[in-house]
Amino acid sequence: MLLRNGCAGRILKSGSFRSMSTSWWKHVEPAPKDPILGVTEAFLADPSPDKVNVGVGAYRDDNGKPVVLECVREAERRIAGNLNMEYLPMGGSIKMVEETLKLAYGENSDLIKEKQIAAVQALSGTGACRLFADFQKRFSPDSQIYIPVPTWANHHNIWRDAHVPQNTFHYYHPESRGLDFASMMEDIKNAPNGSFFLLHACAHNPTGVDPTEEQWREISHQFKVKGHFAFFDMAYQGFASGDPERDAKSIRIFLEDGHLIGCAQSYAKNMGLYGQRVGCLSVICEDEKQAVAVKSQLQQLARPMYSNPPVHGALVVSTILGDPELKKLWLTEVKGMADRIIGMRSALRENLEKLGSPLSWEHITKQIGMFCYSGMTPEQVDRLTNEYHIYMTRNGRISMAGVTTGNVGFLANAIHEVTKSA
């Protein structure tokens, strides 16, 4: 007995219907592996004892081990057993959001005092960007987003799934392995007035190339002239220079110029809370009334996505940032992580130079943050993986956090081998 839509079947003796039909999902294609997270999957599957993972941007200590910060352990000890697990409000933990805004905008920010900021707890940086993209689609439906080339691959997915059309702007200059400032400024000038731009606040992912302070001022000025909207993705505050205040400089420059920006913040890296999914989305408004309205609309977007955000990670953050001792400890630990990475940058560069590499590796120490955009080709990366069991994304991005004193020599040697005849 054949019924419609491929649902064939027969009635069993018991009278119940046994469907022998084909699947509704036969046509579903296997999706390509996520280019970043797929690297770790491949790494884990590799049995080689010498394997090195410099793929995903998760911090490792000098023994290559994941790190739980002391301030986090202490916060968790205080939390466990003490509080209930009731739903947070749709906008998340108010305390966590308050502390988080101070980090981005300054302890004594007038914008915070005047309640001009619409802010909600979000599912780490991804969740913050996605909420903003959905909000942008709903309330600026004719707008597009300008995204730097290159950027974190998931940025494209986020704005695409939010149905916001995308454009790109020049950013990375392959020849110099630095910033293509002139082309970037051209693109900013040529974009229609009032365009939306995605900017990495610091430690650009994947290139590690950031504008200088002077360049940020010029960018901000041009944004003023054009009336552009700046959306900052800040996933590495504290990780770039070791000083969270310094790493927020780009944002502060825009604020000084009077821009009403949007900002995604993440505690995945700088507090090591990766899997807890803790972040914040903020949108600066003209006044408190507008901020209340915008916040209510952000909540309307969160409600049909996950109702309200997870409480645990937010509690960890607010416990740490709300306690002066713990906050001090955190700042020390963040600096420690940033310093170790800066040290590994020097070490990798020195090793390559000592090996007599014909290429310039200056960019390793000029770039900043967790990643180094090595300039290697996908083919060279494949050789690193196949011949040396070194895992990284095929765009040549090295997660410096995965480099240790134990593996830097091996890594330098392998890179030298695959690039020396380039």
274 binds another protein (CB under 8 A): yes
Per CB under 8 A, the segment of 20-28, 175-183, 358-366, 413-421 that binds another protein is 20-28
Q: Which CB, 258 or 358, lies closer to another protein?
A: 258
Asked if residues 196 and 146 have their Cβ atoms less than 8 Å apart, the reply is yes
Per CB under 8 A, the segment of 84-92, 375-383, 393-401, 414-422 that binds another protein is 84-92
Map the footprint of another protein across residues 388-417, applying CB under 8 A: none
CA distance 365 to 242: 15
Q: Which of 134, 180, 210, 233 is catalytic?
A: 233
3-state secondary structure of 266: strand
Residue 307, Cβ neighbours under 10 Å: how many? 11
Torsional sign, CA 396, 201, 165, 279: positive
299 binds another protein (CB under 8 A): yes
Residue 221, Cβ neighbours under 10 Å: how many? 12
CA distance 380 to 183: 28
CA distance 369 to 152: 14
Place of tokens 């020097």: 346
Per CB under 8 A, the segment of 102-110, 274-282, 362-370, 393-401 that binds another protein is 274-282
* H-helix segments, 322-407: 324-354, 362-366, 378-388
CA distance 402 to 352: 17
Q: Which CB, 293 or 422, lies closer to another protein?
A: 293
210 is catalytic: no
CA distance 355 to 336: 29
221 binds another protein (CB under 8 A): no
Task: Determine which residue in the list 37, 186, 190, 213 makes contact with another protein, applying CB under 8 A.
Answer: 37
Place of tokens 């390559």: 352
Map the footprint of another protein across residues 38-57, applying CB under 8 A: 41, 56
Map the footprint of another protein across residues 150-209, applying CB under 8 A: 154, 157-158, 160-161, 193-194
13 binds another protein (CB under 8 A): no
Task: Determine which residue in the list 96, 263, 285, 329 makes contact with another protein, applying CB under 8 A.
Answer: 285
Task: Determine which residue in the list 53, 121, 124, 395 makes contact with another protein, applying CB under 8 A.
Answer: 124
Task: Determine which residue in the list 2, 10, 13, 30 makes contact with another protein, applying CB under 8 A.
Answer: 30
Q: Minimal distance in Å, beta carbon 254 to another protein?
A: 10
Q: Which CB, 281 or 415, lies closer to another protein?
A: 281
Map the footprint of another protein across residues 352-391, applying CB under 8 A: none
CA distance 261 to 47: 47
Residue 7's identity, in one-letter code, is C
Residues labelled as active-site residues = 152, 233, 269
